Amino acid sequence: MMGMGRIIRSGERVALSHYHLDAEQWCAMLSAPGATLPLISCWADDARAYVLLLEGDRPLLASRAVEERRYLAPSSRFAGAEWGERVAYDLYGVEAMDARGNGAPALDEGGWTSTWPLSSRPGPAAGGLRPLAGSHLLRPEQTGLSGPLELSFEVLKGKVRSVEVCAGGAHRGVVSRLLGRTPEEAMPLVSRMTAGGFVAHPLAFARAVAQARGLVPGPGIRDVWMVLLEIERMSLHLFDMARTARGVDAELLATHCDHAREAIARACAEQGVSRRLMDMVACDGFRDGLEIVPLAQAVHAAMQPRLAALEELHRVFAPRLDGFAVLDVRLAERFAVGGVTGRASGRSMDMRRREAGMRLEALRATGSSQGDARAREGLRLAEIRDSLKLLERILGSIGLEDDEPAPDRTDEGIGVAEGARGDVWYWVRLKEGRIESLHVRDPGVSLLPVLGAMLRGYPVSRVPAALGSIGISPAGIAL
């Protein structure tokens, strides 16, 4: 009997890692014996349903035609596919048959002017929806999240029993605005997708576009991208650490994190680039005039002396985070939770390790796999140390040649970047040089199904600290 990967590859190969399956092959994939390949993302449009999987350290994309607005639900095999199925129904009106879950709307909460707005056959507007019975709705300022993402909690005696995500107010229609543009025209909007990935999102997009065009960025470009991504990693880790620290009254640690992050931002500004590295990545490289060596040196000089104090303060306050917002490794693996949150729970996946030219000797961060806030904060500090070491290694051998082969041009590509909060994925299909179809998978999506388990039993007042430790960003969830 064939395993899942072999079943997918028995379909029609249409791109480097993409196979079209017929109805029989799709059913066989969802019922394949043996281990289930990790799910990265699931989505659908009017024409096709897609599942993006990880086979080893390589992406594997399977799709099948949507027939009469229906397709067999990937969530029947992949638990993490439910969110993508709900989004597809809200946007296109395509229904996942035999789906798990209650089928509640993901985005359309009753305020849209029409249902299924991206469908070729949109429907009339639905009536307004009400919050869950007995739910307690927290506004963004109560959760510590920026943007109009709402979390609806079922609360008993002041403690969380379950969580429902209300993302309709956060939906911006970004992906639909990118369709029909050239990748170069789309890049400014991609670069502003979320403040949690001013580098990671455009980098994943640029890699997907390069693959679609049959190109491989040269080693000089590759190393510049790596440096920018590590600077962003340090800055975002410090931001999340500060949020967590304030939630447990560790104001001194939070202040030191704020000062360190400001020092990085100031070093960037002094080198003539934006404080948060916006608009640095281009489809064919990086912004004109960017001097990466002095930038990396300035950031290293600003951050290195502050690390020891941060580590000492973490040791002082870490006991306050013991056993807080625990993510079990089985849930992390089942829902493909990545980044620090996944690794601190024992799911050891870091997509940087598959990158050509990566200085693997610099990636040494290890730590507790207890899955709690203490493990996550300890790992963030260890990864900051690794980032500084990686900057040193790249500066010592920048532009080192390798023999990575160029892919065939198929006008379709998959790109990934291991951002500070997890793996960011883009799938893009081009037609006559313009974006015909696009899918974005932000790491925040994989956290949605596990929030309830992580927060269950905690006082509502402690939710901001937990969300800071988890590193969830609303902007990337409802694009």
CATH number of 4-103: 3.30.460.80
Amino acid 410: pLDDT: 94
Q: What is the mean pLDDT of residues 298-321?
A: 97
Report yes or no: 193 and 479 within 8 Å, Cβ to Cβ.
yes
417 has pLDDT over 90: yes
Amino acid 466: pLDDT: 87
166 has pLDDT over 70: no
Among 20-29, 179-188, 356-365, 464-473, the minimum mean pLDDT is found in 464-473
Q: What is the mean pLDDT of residues 274-291?
A: 96
Phi and psi at residue 53, in whole multiples of 5°? -115, 170
Q: What is the pLDDT of residues 321-352, one digit of tens each?
A: 999 999 999 999 999 999 999 999 999 899 99
Phi and psi at residue 311, in whole multiples of 5°? -65, -40
Amino acid 465: pLDDT: 84
Query: Which sequence spans correspond to the domains of the chain?
Result: 4-103, 174-476
129 has pLDDT over 50: no
Amino acid 132: pLDDT: 45
> pLDDT-based confidence at 57, cuts 50/70/90?
confident
Sign of dihedral through CA atoms 296, 348, 241, 165? positive
Q: What is the mean pLDDT of residues 456-479?
A: 82
Amino acid 125: pLDDT: 64
**Nearest Cα residue to 171 out of 122, 105, 95, 126:** 105
Report percent pLDDT > 90 for the chain: 71
Torsion of CA 380, 383, 388, 393, to 10 degrees: -170
Q: What is the mean pLDDT of residues 58-82?
A: 96
Among 124-133, 173-182, 359-368, 415-424, the minimum mean pLDDT is found in 124-133
Among 130-134, 363-367, 380-384, the minimum mean pLDDT is found in 130-134
Report yes or no: 97 and 72 within 8 Å, Cβ to Cβ.
yes
Query: Average per-residue pLDDT in the chain?
Result: 90
Q: What is the mean pLDDT of residues 406-427?
A: 95
41 has pLDDT over 50: yes
Distance, CA of 312 to CA of 379 (rounded, Å): 14
127 has pLDDT over 60: no
Q: Which residue did the predictor score with more confidence, 34 or 137? A: 34
> pLDDT-based confidence at 61, cuts 50/70/90?
very high
**Residues in Cβ contact with 136 at an 8 Å cutoff, skipping those fewer than 6 apart:** 152, 153, 154, 155, 460
Amino acid 111: pLDDT: 65
Q: What is the pLDDT of residues 170-209, one digit of tens each?
A: 567 888 899 999 999 999 999 999 988 999 999 999 999 9
Distance, CA of 369 to CA of 372 (rounded, Å): 8
**Nearest Cα residue to 207 out of 194, 217, 199, 198:** 217
Report percent pLDDT > 70 for the chain: 91
Q: What is the mean pLDDT of residues 41-54?
A: 97
**Residues in Cβ contact with 286 at an 8 Å cutoff, skipping those fewer than 6 apart:** 221, 224, 225, 228, 280, 292
pTM, 2 dp:
0.93
Q: What is the mean pLDDT of residues 52-70?
A: 95
We find that the CATH architecture of domain 174-476 is: Orthogonal Bundle (1.10)
> pLDDT-based confidence at 249, cuts 50/70/90?
very high
